[in-house]
């Protein structure tokens, strides 16, 4: 259900990028650390039965769940971002029939309550730049674009930071990453030299001379596939008192 709802709501936003994005989201959904809130609609008779059981001291949190109609879900996790423990909202998806009625706002208030009770420092989430309605929704709730959002940082700076943080994997290019500005300029020069495009293939790299050029080619493609995709979205945050 959640995969189908996600596709119905987000396929248009991602456009041609959706097939690859859907694979990523499917993996995220089944990760062990994924937590969910499911929104269900019940018949009045089922709700009345639940209240009657509560009055008699019987636990009934999930008694009528199977009989309810699903209207949406929230997928969230507890993670650490920039040394701050945060509750990260991966998805908030609702059926179109219940959008614009305050349910999304209520769910975000519930998420913030869970974060506070769990002693998290903030709530974070990602919004596609093209999804202006969602951006306006979160802005109205007090969320702002994080200073660490990929959309706010030069992708080449992020690439440099990635290499430095995992430099044991690239130990043979230490001389190229000793200075960030030199590295960034080298990346730009390499892209111009090879006239690389996102569709460039391995044959072009193997025709280039030297392992260093091939390395730059790998990094360029990684930059395009990962950082440029990330830069198409805002990471938003609200800090909790």
Q: With 0.75 as the threshold, say if the pTM is over it.
A: no
Q: What does the pLDDT read at residue 209?
A: 44
Residue 87 CA to residue 104 CA, distance in Å, equals 17
H or E, element range at 237 = strand 233-239
Q: What does the pLDDT read at residue 147?
A: 82
Q: What does the pLDDT read at residue 156?
A: 59
Q: pLDDT grade, residue 108 (50/70/90)?
A: very high
**What are the tens digits of pLDDT across the range 12-49?**
988 888 898 899 899 999 999 999 999 998 776 666 56
What are 122's two structure tokens?
Answer: 């903030």
**What beta strand segments (E) does 19-143 contain?**
35-41, 69-81, 84-94, 122-128
CB atoms within 10 A of CB 20: 11
What are 153's two structure tokens?
Answer: 């940082």
Q: Look at residues 71, 142, 145, 68 and name the one whose alpha carbon lies nearest to residue 105.
A: 142
CB atoms within 10 A of CB 106: 11
Q: What does the pLDDT read at residue 208?
A: 46
**What are the tens digits of pLDDT across the range 201-218?**
444 444 444 455 555 555
- Is pLDDT larger for residue 124 or for residue 173? 124
Domain ranges of the chain: 1-12+34-121+168-239
């Amino acid at each position: 259900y959640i995969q189908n709802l996600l596709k119905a709501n987000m396929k248009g936003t991602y456009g041609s990028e959706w097939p690859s994005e859907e694979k990523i989201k499917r993996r995220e959904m089944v990760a062990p650390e994924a937590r969910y809130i499911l929104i269900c609609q019940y018949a009045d008779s089922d709700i009345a039965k639940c209240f009657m059981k509560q009055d008699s001291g019987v636990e009934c949190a999930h008694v009528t769940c199977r009989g309810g109609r699903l209207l949406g879900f929230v997928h969230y996790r507890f993670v650490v971002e920039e040394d701050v423990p945060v509750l990260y909202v991966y998805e908030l998806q609702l059926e179109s029939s219940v959008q614009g009625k305050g349910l999304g706002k209520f769910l975000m208030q519930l998420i913030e309550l869970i974060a506070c009770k769990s002693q998290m420092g903030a709530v974070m989430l990602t919004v596609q730049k093209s999804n202006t309605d969602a951006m306006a929704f979160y802005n109205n709730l007090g969320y702002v674009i994080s200073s660490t959002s990929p959309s706010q940082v030069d992708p080449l700076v992020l690439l440099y930071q990635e290499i430095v943080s995992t430099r044991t994997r690239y130990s043979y290019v230490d001389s190229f990453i000793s200075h960030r500005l030199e590295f960034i300029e080298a990346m730009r020069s390499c892209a111009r030299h090879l006239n690389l495009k996102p569709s460039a293939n391995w044959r072009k790299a193997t025709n280039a001379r030297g392992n260093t050029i091939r390395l730059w080619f790998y990094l360029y493609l990684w930059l395009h596939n990962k950082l440029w995709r990330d830069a198409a979205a805002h990471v938003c945050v609200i800090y909790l008192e």
